Amino acid sequence: MRVAVGLSGGVDSSVAALLLQQDGHTVECMFMRNWRADADDPHCHAEQDRKDAVAVAGRLGLRFHLRDFSAEYLREVFRHFLDEYARGRTPNPDVLCNREIKFKVFLQAALALGAERIATGHYARVRETAQGFELLRGADRAKDQSYFLHQLGQYELSRTLFPLGAMHKPAVRALAREHALPTQAKKDSTGICFIGERDFRTFLAQYLPARPGAILDSAGRRVGEHPGSLYFTLGQRAGLGLGGVRGAGGGAWYVVGKDVAVNTLIVAQGDVARWLDARTLRALAPTWIAGHAPADVFTCQAQIRYRQPAQECHVEIDADGCRVRFARPQRAPAPGQSIVFYQDEVCLGGATIEASDAVFGGLIAPPPLRPEPAAMSSQQ
Instruction: Kindly state whether residues 113 and 222 are assigned to the same domain.
Output: no
Tens-of-pLDDT digits for all 380 residues of the chain?
999 999 999 999 999 999 999 999 999 999 999 987 655 565 667 888 999 999 999 999 999 999 999 999 999 999 999 999 999 899 999 999 999 999 999 999 999 999 999 999 999 999 999 999 999 999 999 999 999 999 999 999 999 999 999 999 999 999 999 999 999 999 887 666 666 666 788 888 889 888 899 999 888 889 899 998 888 888 888 778 786 665 566 678 889 988 888 889 999 888 788 889 999 999 999 999 999 999 999 999 999 999 999 999 999 999 989 999 999 999 999 999 999 999 999 999 999 999 999 876 554 443 343 333 333 333 32
Q: Residue 246 domain-assigned?
A: yes
- Catalytic residue (choose from 29, 193, 322, 347): 193
Cα 34 to Cα 54: distance, rounded to the nearest angstrom = 17
pTM listed for this prediction: 0.90
**Does the CA dihedral 345-351-353-355 come out positive or negative?**
negative
Q: Which residue, 128, 160, 178, sits at the end of a domain?
A: 178
Enclosing domain of residue 321: 275-356
Instruction: Kindly state whether residues 33 and 147 are assigned to the same domain.
Output: yes
Instruction: Kindly state whether residues 268 and 279 are assigned to the same domain.
Output: no
Instruction: Kindly state whether residues 234 and 309 are assigned to the same domain.
Output: no
Q: Residue 202 domain-assigned?
A: no
Name which of 237, 241, 238, 280 is nearest 256 in CA terms.
237
Residue 40 burial (C-beta neighbours within 10 Å; 0-12, 13-18, 19+): exposed
Instruction: Kindly state whether residues 235 and 104 are assigned to the same domain.
Output: no
CATH number of the domain at 261, please: 2.30.30.280
DSSP string, 65-117: EEEE-HHHHIIIIIHHHHHHHHTT----HHHHHIIIIIIIIHHHHHHHTT-SE
Instruction: Kindly state whether residues 45 and 97 are assigned to the same domain.
Output: yes
Q: At what angle do helices 169-178 and 11-22 cross, to 10 degrees?
A: 70
Instruction: Kindly state whether residues 106 and 131 are assigned to the same domain.
Output: yes
**150 in Cβ contact with 350 (< 8 Å):** yes
| Residue 89 Rama label (left phi>0; alpha psi -120 to 50; beta) | beta
pLDDT of residue 245: 66
Q: Clarify whether 313 is annotated catalytic.
A: no
pLDDT of residue 194: 67
H or E segment to which residue 347 belongs: strand 346-356
Instruction: Kindly state whether residues 68 and 171 are assigned to the same domain.
Output: yes
Q: Clarify whether 347 is annotated catalytic.
A: no
Instruction: Kindly state whether residues 52 and 83 are assigned to the same domain.
Output: yes
pLDDT of residue 340: 98
Instruction: Kindly state whether residues 91 and 227 are assigned to the same domain.
Output: no
What values do phi and psi take at 119, rounded to 5?
-145, 150
**255 in Cβ contact with 242 (< 8 Å):** no
Instruction: Kindly state whether residues 254 and 279 are assigned to the same domain.
Output: no
pLDDT of residue 378: 32
CATH number of the domain at 133, please: 3.40.50.620
Q: Residue 185 domain-assigned?
A: no
**Does the CA dihedral 348-351-353-355 come out positive or negative?**
negative
- Catalytic residue (choose from 29, 44, 97, 313): 97
Q: Residue 197 domain-assigned?
A: no
Cα 223 to Cα 242: distance, rounded to the nearest angstrom = 8
Q: Residue 172 domain-assigned?
A: yes
Q: Residue 283 domain-assigned?
A: yes
CATH number of the domain at 320, please: 2.40.30.10
Q: Residue 53 domain-assigned?
A: yes
| 8 three-class SS | coil
Count of the separate structural domains present in the chain: 3
CA distance readout (Å), 221 to 101, 194, 210, 359, 372: 45, 37, 22, 17, 6
Q: Residue 258 domain-assigned?
A: yes
Instruction: Kindly state whether residues 140 and 256 are assigned to the same domain.
Output: no
